[in-house]
Amino acid sequence: MEEVRKYLHKIYIMNGSLRDTLKRSKTVRGRRWTIRRDTQGKLTEVKMIFNPDEYVKNSTSKEMYGDKRLLEILEKEFNNKKE
């Protein structure tokens, strides 16, 4: 199941669906996202964190981003991909 989620997130990034959805929809207060990059610095994975308060308690937690910041990151990644 986890592999399917990773695959779907990668599809969102490649097709721009998540980027488009965030553009169209309003930001949701409290919704947080984490990202993963490969060794070249390219964005490979985006995950939505359902319980940010619990996630922060974990010692291995990654940096979390809100909807607006994630949209900025996805826009930058999209523009870099086009060049």
The tens digit of pLDDT for each residue in 25-80 reads 888 888 899 999 999 888 888 999 888 888 888 878 889 999 999 999 999 988 88
Cβ 19 vs Cβ 71: under 8 Å? yes
Q: What is the pLDDT of residue 79?
A: 86
**What's the number of domains the chain is made of?**
1
Domain around 20: 2-82
State mean pLDDT over 14-34: 81
The rounded distance, in Å, linking the Cα atoms of 46 and 1 is 16
Dihedral sign for Cα atoms in the order 9, 24, 67, 27: negative
Helices vs. strands in the chain: H and E counts, helices first: 4, 2
Write phi, then psi, for 35 (nearest 5 degrees): -125, 155
Q: What is the pTM of this model?
A: 0.72
Q: What is the pLDDT of residue 11?
A: 47
Q: What is the pLDDT of residue 13?
A: 52
